[in-house]
Amino acid sequence: MRQLTPRELAAILNELQRQVALEQLKEQHNHWAFLAAVITNGFGAITSMFSKRKHKAVSPDDFMGKEAKKMLQQLLGQGPEQSQADWNRQVEDAKAKGLRGPWNGGGEKAC
């Protein structure tokens, strides 16, 4: 520990903070949001037995805030900029193979 440089120590500290935040968000999603979804779906099923309306099931994601979802995606590296980079890579691959798509006017293979 004493042989680490300040830069290495800061990198380790940042990674530990990221892992703690990720663990807390996963616990919130897996335990508490799941429990809330089960309770809500249970009460909804019971009330739908006595009414003509069909119950709409909820998922644990419905109980998480937008900020928490966004933070979880960023920590896991699945943000919107990540998906855009994936699409760009696939478009370049398709162009290299000579395929046509919406970026160059058609869905057929080039002749």
Q: Which of 41, 18, 76, 91 is nearest to 99 (CA)?
A: 91
In a domain, 21, yes or no: yes
For residues 70 and 92, membership in a common domain is answered with no
**Each residue of 58-88: pLDDT tens digit?**
888 888 888 877 887 777 776 555 556 667 7
The Cα–Cα gap between 28 and 60 comes to 10
Beta partners for residue 109, in sequence order = 99
pLDDT of residue 64: 80
- Cα 82 to Cα 80: distance, rounded to the nearest angstrom: 5
Is residue 34 one of the residues assigned to a domain? yes
- The range of the structural domain enclosing residue 83 comes to 79-111
Q: pLDDT of 26-67, one tens digit each?
A: 887 788 888 989 999 999 989 888 888 888 888 888 888 888
Q: Is the pLDDT of residue 110 over 50?
A: no
Query: Which pLDDT value is given to residue 42?
Result: 92
